[in-house]
Structure 1
Amino acid sequence: MRRSILFLAFILLGCGMIFSQVSRTLSPVMNIEGVFKNNYDGVAKGTPFVMQRIVKLKKAPVSGASREQAVIIVNGIQFGLPLDMLDVVELQPKDKNSFWQATQLTDDLIRYYEKKGYQEKLRKEQEQEADDYLRELEQAKMLYEDAAVEDYLQCMLLSIVPEQMAVFRNGLPQVRVLKSPSPDMLMLGNDCLLISTGMLTTLDTEEELYALMAREVAHYVLDHAIITVNKNIARAKRAQFWGAVANGVVAATEAYLTERYDYYEPGLIFATNDVIQALVNENIVNRMGLDYSDKQEREADEVAIRFINLMGKNKEALPSALTKVFGYYERTKDYAPLNGNGIYSTLANRLKKLGDFTPLEHDRIYLKKTCTVVSFEAGMMDYNKKYSESKYLAMKNIGNNMACSDDYLMVARYIMKQSNTPESNKECLSYLEKADAVAKVTNVNICKMKILLLFRENKQVEAVNLLREYQSLLDIMFRQPHSEEDGRWITEEYAWAEKLLDRTYIM
């Protein structure tokens, strides 16, 4: 008993001497539980502790020892544990904050910053790069605006990201949705998490999305982008780089304006393939340090799995989600991202390391929350003349009994593009009738497609009557408030109908 009292007195005296020497606090106040894995400095193996914060001493307490110390509570007493001795303890976080704090500590980030510096100038540059990127996306109308979808994603992100980390950082990430068919998720340098419409349509469950978000938060917490961008040596001046990107977008937009699209939904702005390629490519990813190394990608996988387990989620959600991402590129035969230096070049090997798993069943709550995104993506694929992909997406909603009028319309358009037989035309008409039945508002595209079907079947009189009805619908649209682009489309459609009427009377 006396020996224990003397030991505690010694510890108290030592702590008083150590913490009077604190020169700087390196972390906010934490509350990470753990146990000693080994006997250490009079503390027995298995002894529990709580880590409070990280400090830097004015000088090392012992020659050769680390000045960076973890302040821990052992049996109610403050104790200094050198950061280079963290391997003698096992951190056992109980919630999301302590998990991400422990992740930063075990990855030795604090000592990394003490050696390399926090690189405020580079961080500011990366923040400006991300701001420039978002500005280009906004100007090109590449951001999908849906308050309900954004709020759903933001709430999920808030359930993952820590309010406070072991390394000081301001603010919490915000979610934006990118109009792009490729399944992408990127955490930008201005703390904006970009999630593509393609990612939302590729996944089938909330837990899969949760797992991929946890991966991006792992990259964010471990500062992989800053570490990576240091290695990307060749960097044009910011204004020069983004100026070239903007020029590419302008050229792509001008090329699109020379084409006439036979399907158009007034008020809904789709993105063209050329604009998407100008703003979603490896050069931009590389510039912002998001071309993570194989080691960083595997680390993010491992951290995400541990986090998922801690939060009581399905640990098979991550391999299930990543397999669907991989499957997208195989299904669309877009192998470039999977090969060489592509953004998913390490994905096949990572999936092998994750091992066998059972794919997750469809989650109807998730599918309901994202069905509008699926419909939008189907329309965008049709707009870009990718009819097979449009039909694939529309059938996802139809198969899940969540289809809107446009989903049936997309399938009908696919059938018309692929075949012209009495059977296929009948099938096409059945989808158009379903589209009409569930339409909440008048859809002029349905009327137009019925006109084309009638001409296919040489039903001239019925076609003429429907053409006049089509013009009446266009007249109503034109009398309502509309944009300049919508007005141009309505005028062109009216002229098309008029010419078709003239030709029909001649015949």
Structure 2
Amino acid sequence: MKFKFFLSVLLFVSFQTMANKTTYSFWTQKWIENSSANANQEGYQEALSNHNWHYKNRKILHESAQDYLQQLELQEVFFIDPELEDYLYQLIYQIHPKEFPDQQNIHLNIKMIKSVVPEVFSFANGTIIISTGMLSLLQSEDELIAVLAREIAHLSLDHNIEAYTALQTKKTISSIIGTGVYIASTVNSMDKGDSFWEADYLGSFYGAGSELLSYGLLSALGVGYNRTRTYEADEIAQEWMMENQRNPYALVQVIRRLQFFESKHRGTNLALDENRFFITNRFENILKKKKYNLEPSKIQLMPLDINYDTNISDCLMINSKLLVSEEIYSEAIPYLNRSIKSNWVSGESYLLKAIAMRHTKYSESDNRAILSLLEKAKENASTDLPWIWSEEGLIHLRLKEDNDALNAFVKFEEYFSEEQSDTAFWAQKMIAKLKKRINL
């Protein structure tokens, strides 16, 4: 009799649990679990009414985030690509297709920034920021979805609001943002010399990132999650991936990539902040949880996804351009190879690879390969790329082909002939040297 009673109770609880999981969406269920609400419609509505929504703090963080975004726009750090942006919107609304509770006042929005550092974070108002470095570091759509699901987990559980401290005010946050923007403006006003880099480098986060992406500034905006909240978002994203039949190893592969990036760039301008990323043990935190049933032997870096690389091809090119402008040539080449192998490649990707190879390769066969890349750049150019001729001239000089070098520099100089720029003066100087050398 006792056994039957126990079995009845067990079945009732099981059915109730199943009902709860089918009644609510994945994200609503996670909010219920986090807020300890009763798993029934009346309990959920009551929890919404009684939950402490911290409206004052929420308003401060919303307004501060808007101020920060406006400053980013003034600094021209956003990477504008409507096609890629639309692709990202499609993904975030696949992950979270329904509205957030009205009390949260969250409206999903996504923006890209020009930064070779792999960054992704979100503000309390629902704006997700992802860098060209992060998009380029990832190698599949599932990896990108896992990253976006983590940010949506932070938003769903109001981690930004929880991370807010009573010491912060609108005034102190504005002061922190102002300091970061001042230093970033100083960095971005530095003359980079060659106009080829100017439009994309000025306003990039490579030099300014130490301030605009600093842990202190982002913490003031509610993005300073502790390790517990970081792990919680990881685990929720992992559950969403598995429940929606996505690659269950995608998230751990992303964390593994971040670990590789961190170890490679430790002590440099590209170093990841441990206080923000908590790289140590994050990989193991997911791997060791029995409920995910992940097998270590199956965790491997997957082959490149051509469809994904096609979607982010221009992002790969821009990220490579930032690396080349900072003379980090060897790291630019793998990204350029991905851009070139995709189904959508621009002439600029070939040109950038030629520039990177010129600085890292020296044999005659390498120089011939660079000339071939420059021909590909001409064939695939959708805009004027006069720097193809300056690169051709330099390679022909290496090969002691003075006449070909002269022809290339003449074309380069003609393009800039109306400018009184360093670029035009340099081309004129090269032409004069070559004419003297070949007795013209």
Kindly provide the amino acid, as one letter, of the partner of residue 219 in structure 2: N
Task: Give the corresponding residue for 1:99.
Answer: 26
Q: CA deviation at 1:473?
A: 3.1
Kindly provide the amino acid, as one letter, of the partner of residue 286 in structure 2: L
Q: CA deviation at 1:459?
A: 3.2
Task: Indicate the SS of the match to 2:105.
Answer: coil
5+ residue gaps, structure 2:
38-45, 288-295
Q: Tell me whether 1:155 sits opposite 2:90 in the alignment.
A: yes
Q: CA deviation at 1:448?
A: 0.8
Q: CA deviation at 1:466?
A: 2.2
**Aligned partners of 2:178, 2:209: CA distance in 1, in Å?**
16
Kindly provide the amino acid, as one letter, of the partner of residue 358 in structure 1: I
**Aligned partners of 1:91, 1:334: CA distance in 2, in Å?**
52
Task: Give the corresponding residue for 1:429.
Answer: 371
Q: How does 1:33-432 map to 2 (within 5 A)?
A: 44-47=9-12, 92-94=20-22, 98-108=25-35, 117-165=52-100, 168-230=103-165, 237-254=172-189, 256-257=190-191, 259-261=192-194, 263-264=196-197, 271=204, 273-333=206-266, 341-345=274-278, 347-355=279-287, 356=296, 357-359=298-300, 360-400=302-342, 403-432=345-374
**Aligned partners of 2:429, 2:167: CA distance in 1, in Å?**
57
**Aligned partners of 1:115, 1:229: CA distance in 2, in Å?**
20
**Aligned partners of 2:180, 2:269: CA distance in 1, in Å?**
21
Seen in structure 2, the aligned counterparts of structure 1 residues 395 and 463 have a Cα distance that, compared at 3 Å, is: same
Percent sequence identity is: 21
Kindly provide the amino acid, as one letter, of the partner of residue 304 in structure 1: A
More helix per residue:
2
Task: Indicate the SS of the match to 2:277.
Answer: coil
Seen in structure 2, the aligned counterparts of structure 1 residues 109 and 286 have a Cα distance that, compared at 3 Å, is: farther
Seen in structure 2, the aligned counterparts of structure 1 residues 94 and 323 have a Cα distance that, compared at 3 Å, is: farther
Q: Tell me whether 1:468 sits opposite 2:389 in the alignment.
A: no
Is the CA contact 1:129–1:288 (under 8 Å) kept in the aligned structure 2? yes
Task: Give the corresponding residue for 1:6.
Answer: none
Is the CA contact 1:264–1:445 (under 8 Å) kept in the aligned structure 2? no
**Aligned partners of 1:186, 1:390: CA distance in 2, in Å?**
24
Q: Tell me whether 1:500 sits opposite 2:435 in the alignment.
A: no
Kindly provide the amino acid, as one letter, of the partner of residue 158 in structure 1: Y
**Aligned partners of 1:336, 1:260: CA distance in 2, in Å?**
21
**Aligned partners of 2:195, 2:359: CA distance in 1, in Å?**
12
Cα deviations by residue, 1:444-495 (Å, 9 ceiling, x for unpaired): 11111011122333433332222222233335xx7xxxxxxxx77xx43222
**Aligned partners of 1:208, 1:343: CA distance in 2, in Å?**
19
Kindly provide the amino acid, as one letter, of the partner of residue 129 in structure 1: S
Is the CA contact 2:31–2:156 (under 8 Å) kept in the aligned structure 1? yes
Kindly provide the amino acid, as one letter, of the partner of residue 367 in structure 1: D
Is the CA contact 1:129–1:189 (under 8 Å) kept in the aligned structure 2? no
Q: Tell me whether 1:450 sits opposite 2:375 in the alignment.
A: no
Is the CA contact 1:208–1:317 (under 8 Å) kept in the aligned structure 2? yes
Cα deviations by residue, 1:220-255 (Å, 9 ceiling, x for unpaired): 10111111122776997233222212211221123x
**Aligned partners of 2:254, 2:273: CA distance in 1, in Å?**
22
More strand per residue:
1
Q: CA deviation at 1:115?
A: 8.0
**Aligned partners of 1:241, 1:268: CA distance in 2, in Å?**
24
Is the CA contact 1:375–1:407 (under 8 Å) kept in the aligned structure 2? yes
Task: Give the corresponding residue for 2:291.
Answer: none
Is the CA contact 2:168–2:220 (under 8 Å) kept in the aligned structure 1? no
Q: CA deviation at 1:119?
A: 1.5
Give the alignment's TM-score, normalised by structure 1.
0.73
Kindly provide the amino acid, as one letter, of the partner of residue 121 in structure 2: L
Larger RCO (alpha carbons 8 Å, 6+ apart): 2
Find the structure with the greater CA-based Rg: 1
Q: CA deviation at 1:209?
A: 0.8
Seen in structure 2, the aligned counterparts of structure 1 residues 232 and 266 have a Cα distance that, compared at 3 Å, is: closer
Q: CA deviation at 1:353?
A: 2.2
**Aligned partners of 1:242, 1:265: CA distance in 2, in Å?**
24
**Aligned partners of 1:304, 1:153: CA distance in 2, in Å?**
17
**Aligned partners of 1:229, 1:185: CA distance in 2, in Å?**
19
Seen in structure 2, the aligned counterparts of structure 1 residues 391 and 232 have a Cα distance that, compared at 3 Å, is: farther
Seen in structure 2, the aligned counterparts of structure 1 residues 309 and 102 have a Cα distance that, compared at 3 Å, is: same
Aligned residues: 415
**Aligned partners of 1:285, 1:265: CA distance in 2, in Å?**
27
Kindly provide the amino acid, as one letter, of the partner of residue 218 in structure 2: V
Task: Indicate the SS of the match to 2:275.
Answer: coil
Kindly provide the amino acid, as one letter, of the partner of residue 430 in structure 1: S
Is the CA contact 2:112–2:131 (under 8 Å) kept in the aligned structure 1? yes
